[in-house]
Structure 1
């Protein structure tokens, strides 16, 4: 299989050659897209063995002081500052450890990490190490939410299938989501994890009121979807985006279709959705689409569950869809 080549700047982040006019204080100003290039190579220096071990051998190395025996990960020192600069040597450490802090979660990432969000960022003390390694954190159960990984949680190092020799070549998931064999295996790769069957929330049996609420919310969302598809401004929020989404609630199931600006909701079961959303009360989603609260907040606050971590980007687009429609309606009213 030919090697997949990646660019430092992905094509989608490179702007087109174009200009536009803005007006400030009744004066027109011309703005033009331009560029400034700064490409360079950097050496990993004394940390090269650490990154090469990750890239080529799927091992985690630390440095051990020849005098006091402290093991630092990553191996950032060739001599121990606590022992009159006694020399250190490289040693391999375990790929299992415990979080020494509760990690913050990044939901809205910069363009550099957009394809990796949401993710946690924290420090893990691996077995055999005395210092903590900074790592990204994920879950196989759906989207990463607060409380899922916290101080003391046991985690396992996972190696990306394609590695280039960077710290982002590895990340951690809780060992509770892995089989005993996966926990003990060295060099466990992301393709060996079960990402396809996240743990979907279970809801109690619906009451008659729940069923009536479902039908009313669905009716309102369908009417709202028609307005969104007819709005030039709202359509821009999902321009170029295509998703078929299953939404499950306590009292029923329906489908959301996003197709390059078109937005449609039907009471239908999808056989192969791109991902699944689940919320006990459909009003949670209705309020978000009506711009009465962010859908992203509902995900973060665990009122709305999604089956794929990276589909948080779709949730963000749904928030923009709702916001753009309201903005357009306000502008029309103001005129």
Structure 2
């Protein structure tokens, strides 16, 4: 959800006043934080009715040619070029439509869009419209992965609770994930959707052999986590980050706890986890933590499931920690042989 009183430039990107010394080729250089910026206002012009309808009325408008009847969404034309520039009129369109193509998914966004990722970006043809509207796409089933939304998938427009008159005030989710009442409602808000309780993947009962595999992988994972916690570089990767994570696998479950630079693994999982990780074979998650593959890739390829889309950033931190430990080992070996 969009934060109240959100700034144009978030505080996280605003550095403190100060300076530091960087050493390059044995020479010290003083580097100071500074800024160069320009604030400005821009008008939506003739598109204002479309954005005001999103913000104030929770409606989606299009422009309809008064001669040919073609409805364009968004209403980017005041006159129809197909009808000798006949005037158009604003009309409301439905808030349910179908995807006209399979959307690409952004997992690693730039800083400008980092708070939105992971998200799909595609074009939906709403009922009553003849052109496609470009929107962001999400799922209530955990993290968005390929195959959930594709060409022909029916989706529903959802409105942000906090709206400012931007196209990002809306996004889409598959109608199959909503109740009939939610699908039928005009102006459905994001807060009216249950994002906290996605359907977890079924975990089959473990055989005695699989239980043994789980115990062995868990023991190795404890060692890996302890190594991360003792690595200065890895600890910096989770500085100021706090998460209680419940991990489920065939053979058992446990907790991983991140607390401002510290990471621990405990046999008892949290009672109220921030999110859930499901790794059918615990060795898959272990490989990621041990830098034998990226956990982010394992999620994208559906080998691992997480319960909340926004927690992909935590998974990315796991990958960074694994890389930090590996780099520290490489540096240590290089220094010892120098």
Residue matched to 1:47: 47
Report SS of the residue matched to 1:315.
helix
Distance in 2 between the 1:149 and 1:270 partners? 32
Distance in 1 between the 2:24 and 2:4 partners? 46
* Per-residue deviation, 1:227: 1.2
Distance in 1 between the 2:295 and 2:147 partners? 19
Residue matched to 1:127: 127
The residue correspondences of 1:15-164 to structure 2 (distance < 5 A) are 15-164=15-164
- 1:66-124 deviations in Å (ceiling 9; x for gaps): 11110000000000011110000000000000000100111111111111111100000
Report SS of the residue matched to 1:90.
strand
Task: Give 5+ residue unaligned stretches, structure 1.
Answer: none
Report SS of the residue matched to 1:112.
coil
Distance in 2 between the 1:33 and 1:79 partners? 50
Distance in 1 between the 2:209 and 2:21 partners? 54
Report SS of the residue matched to 1:155.
strand
Distance in 2 between the 1:261 and 1:287 partners? 22
Report SS of the residue matched to 2:64.
strand
Residue matched to 2:254: 254
Q: State the 4+ residue runs in structure 1 displaced beyond 3 angstroms.
A: 20-30
Does structure 1 residue 232 correspond to structure 2 residue 232? yes
- 1:195-220 deviations in Å (ceiling 9; x for gaps): 12101000222111110111011101
Residues 1:21 and 1:269: Cα distance change in structure 2 (over 3 Å): closer
Distance in 2 between the 1:260 and 1:334 partners? 30
Residue matched to 2:174: 174
Distance in 1 between the 2:305 and 2:291 partners? 19
Report SS of the residue matched to 2:264.
strand
The residue correspondences of 1:201-216 to structure 2 (distance < 5 A) are 201-216=201-216
* Per-residue deviation, 1:270: 2.2
* Per-residue deviation, 1:301: 0.6
Distance in 1 between the 2:270 and 2:290 partners? 24
Q: Is the contact made by 2:214 and 2:251 (CA closer than 8 Å) also made in structure 1?
A: yes
* Per-residue deviation, 1:27: 4.3
* Per-residue deviation, 1:24: 4.2
Q: Is the contact made by 2:245 and 2:269 (CA closer than 8 Å) also made in structure 1?
A: no
Using the size of structure 1 for normalisation, the TM-score is 0.97
Using the size of structure 2 for normalisation, the TM-score is 0.96
Distance in 2 between the 1:179 and 1:101 partners? 24
- 1:231-287 deviations in Å (ceiling 9; x for gaps): 111101111111010000011101001111111111213211110000110011110
Distance in 2 between the 1:172 and 1:14 partners? 32
- 1:130-151 deviations in Å (ceiling 9; x for gaps): 0000000000110000110000
* Per-residue deviation, 1:22: 3.5
Report SS of the residue matched to 2:15.
coil
* Per-residue deviation, 1:226: 1.2
Report SS of the residue matched to 1:82.
helix
Report SS of the residue matched to 1:135.
strand
Report SS of the residue matched to 1:68.
coil
* Per-residue deviation, 1:23: 4.2
Report SS of the residue matched to 2:52.
helix
Report SS of the residue matched to 2:276.
strand
Residue matched to 1:14: 14
Q: Which moved more, 1:21-30 or 1:302-311?
A: 21-30
Q: Is the contact made by 2:256 and 2:269 (CA closer than 8 Å) also made in structure 1?
A: no
* Per-residue deviation, 1:20: 3.2
